Structure 1
Amino acid sequence: MVTACSIGLGLVYLLTTPARYTAHAMMQIDSSKLRVLQQQQVSFADTPLDTTQVETQVEVLKSEGLGLSVVKEMHLTEDAEFAGASARFWGTGNSMQGADSRQSQALDALLSQRTISRVGRTYVLDIAFTSLRPDRAAEIANGIAEAYIVDQLESKYQATRRASKWLQDRITELREQVSAVDRAVLDYKEKNKIVDIAVASAAGSASTSTRSLEEQQLTEISSQLSTARAASTEAKARLDRIQDVLKMGIPDASVVDSLRSEIVIRLRNQYLDLAAREGLLSQRYGSDHQAAINVRAQMEQIRQSVTDELRRIAESTRSDYEIATAREQSLKNKLADMVSDARITNRERIGLRELESNAQAIHTIYDNFLQRYMEAIQQQSFPITESRVISPATAPKQKSSPRTSIVLGLATVLGLALSLAIAGLREALDPVFRSTRQVQETLQVRCLAVVPLLDAPPRSRLVMPWRRNAGRDVASSAEAHAMFGRAVLDPSSVFASAFRSIKVAVDVSTAGQRSRVIGVISTLPDEGKSTIASNFAELVAHVGKNVILIDGDLRNPTISRAMAPDATNGLLEVLAGKVELQDAVRTARGLAFLPTIIESRDTHSSELLGSEALKVMIERLRETYDYIIIDLPPLGPVAEVRGTASMVDSYVQVIEWGRSRKNTVRQQLLGAPEVYERLLGVVLNKVDLKEFGRHETLDAVYGQNGYY
């Protein structure tokens, strides 16, 4: 829907936007003309233009001054496309204010419709202009190129003429200054009897310079002082750091690494090992146990050893700091003495250096001005431009905008992007499970099956007769347990296929075992785990396996109320030794069922899930049945489910689609690592298949839908 709306808006834009045409004039910036006419400047002409110079010319072409000259030359203030309604409103004989307004509006229109760009990394510039008329676009593009060439000729001639006159006057002044400063340097040397000795400035270098011994020594002492200051600062920082560490007790890993002490590292590792051991002992036997007390005593000894070692390191670092400080002070005193001596020695040279600097600066200025003057005289003789039009603009035959393919393509891409963004936002803001991918990403386990939501039982629903060993029929009506037995009664449905997938996963994970104990759990009540457990047990029994279904939900025995409402004894009585196991088990069509009867609220009944009696009973059942399926309580309100990990081979987690929250399920499973380690997979229950198709195709879960 979003994509269709986006494409529709693109079509509306194409139908309502007028066609525009773009003409291109190609201009080259080339200095080869100067190379032909100015043979005496070959060395400069051979230098190619750099990127900065080319980009500068692009900005000149974009300038308002050049655009204003095009407006005046081509009389764009009288064109309705550029002046708009103001050309008709002001007329031809209006005041100066009206002319300025039309000119400003025409200039803005011209600048907004022209594009200047460089063609790749060449010296060719593309002058493009867009107009409602193709011939007008070509005229203005060529007019911009012509205005640029004229502007370059005029600006070059005027600049050269003004520069030549100014340079001539300036060179005369500089020549007199050069002579004066040279005489001043010679007079000062003769008066103070100063003779400079030339020394090589670098090894293997041809250049020379003059330098005194005092200057060399000052440089070396200054370098040594900088090194000493750095060493003193580093020693002080280490000392401060160690003093801070002494207040910490056992330092952390980053502090230990910075100290670079193998003894502290070894003691810290021993301390951490003892701390872990003490935590295990305290958790297992209590913090007052003698073993935990002994470990804590060892930890205290190691902490004292670490403190002693850190104090030793601190004393060593303090000694290094004092030595570095003493060396720094010594170098300071030595530098001060040498500076005092050098000040006296070099006092005579101060005036000479000032005179030589002035002379050197004036010589450099004079040489530069003389060179520029000669160049200006030569350039004034050849007033030509370095730019030329290599391809004049012609009237385009096809419109440049709007481009139908581009507009529709962008509209389609934008629509798809918005659709994906909306879908992603919707999924990110939805905190519940809605697809098998979310199950795998959130819980890191596979989704065994997707069980659809059932509204009513099939019309051919048959009542499964549950009997005691004595043969008394206690079957409920079809409406009372509508959800139980559906996998057997409708074998070609998606509902039945889901349980076959669960059976395949169970068989693969427990291959080679004679008997399998499967626990069906959920995070919260009313997620449908009892329905999953009963239908799975009936389906396995239907294929000829020896199966027993145990209602292990001691607080809410849903299966027992539906399948055995008149039962007087069950799991609790067997575990208490009041009834024999064979007397409490009910059988029907190859499926055995052990109900749970709750006559009163016993707060300790849930503790039986992890009892030794239940474990012994499960081992007895393994000798008789191929599959032992237990409907366990939900993990959230009943923590005792974790006690069944020692007797259950695999758990199957039931999650209600569209209701179970991701964070809740994940936290409950992580809080029960015994269950999570034996978790075979997840069953998405009560799935609305129509809504599920928006998040994940059913073909990916069950194959082709047409079969079902």
Structure 2
Amino acid sequence: MTLQQFLLILRARMWVVILTLLVVVGTAVAVSLILPKQYTATTSLVVDAKTNDPLTGGLLPAQMIPGYMATQVDIINSDRVAQRVVTQLKLTEAPSVQSDWRESTDGEGSVTVWLANRMKESLDVEPSRESNVINVSFTGADPKFAAALTNAWAQAYIDTSLELKVEPARQYAKWFDGKNAELRADLEAAQKRLSDYQQKQGIVATDERLDVENARLAELSSQLSAIQAQRVDSDSRRAQSGNADALPEVMQNGLIQNLKADLARQEATRDQLAGRYGSNHPELAKANAEISALRQRIADETRRVVRALGTNSRVDAQREAEIKASLEAQKKKVLALKAERDQINVLARDVENAQRAYDLVTQRLAQTNLESQTQQTNVVVLTPAVPPLKPSSPKIVLNTALAIFLGLLLGLGAALLLEMMDPRVRGVEDLVQMAGVPVLGVVPSGGKLKLVAAA
């Protein structure tokens, strides 16, 4: 079909197009006038997702804000918020609502749930693309009721959002409270174990006592080293007692040296007397007696010095044994003190760990208690809903424009359908297509065309 054929058909079937257009437009206007007027009230909410948490100081990452805003939209559309609105406004107490509920559900289920689901059908939640503003709209027959319900819905969302934030904190606070009591009992038990051990061992200041005992141990070690050296020297001198005259103690003994000097003088005197008087002279016998007495005294003094050396050696050995015993006892004492200190350190670390855990849980308990009692939320009403002055539907102008467009389409379709059911020759192209013979000429007659085709 060419454009010329289409225009010819349209001119011939114009009455069909006009009639269809009038019917459609008239119907649309009549329906728009008959339908009850609906009013849409809108409230705007600002969700500040970037605000620092006043308690935890947390900041929502920028990449999570779109998901956070989508979550807020889902919360607004949730059954929990809708049922909260029904409860707050006491809508279920209206007799008309009760009758509608019984007719719709035969009295089964909850009227609150049923009414909340119906109201959600008239709710529209639209988040802004470039901001954190959410527009909540409700459409109803009464403008005041629509505004009141929209504001109530926004307040119910704010309250629900606060509850969703507070409820987990309350649960955590309850758990931390029980855990806090348990950790406090553990801390008290650890402190009691440490105190009981200190009282049992009689320990007041472990570090100072251990330092004193370590100093005493070092002193005993020094004394042992000194006495051992002294004993070795005494044993060496005692071993040389066979040659007593060569002993330093003998050689350095003043009495022995004096006696030896007297002996030398007496021997010299005796030799002089022997040369002068002969061997049987009484003076010579007297000199020999004195010499013998001096020699006996020297021998006695030498034996006394040698005996003294043996006594010193035995005393040194005894002192060495005593110091060794004291040293071993001191070592055991120091080791026992170190074991006590290690045990006390273990018990003290148990107390520190229990104290650290208790402090951490106490801090978290205080924080969760504050979070569970908070009344602050990051949602603020930007623009509350007011009763609209003009209805949002039906939109007569828009419906009329759509009806004109739809009527034209239907009219054109009807005209084409009638033409297909009852085709007519309206031009040269139609004659050629229908008869299949060439056209010889076109003769105008009375304002109309007469087509002459070859026989």
TM-score normalized with structure 1 length: 0.30
Q: Specify which structure has the higher proportion of helix.
A: 2
Q: TM-score, normalised by structure 2?
A: 0.45
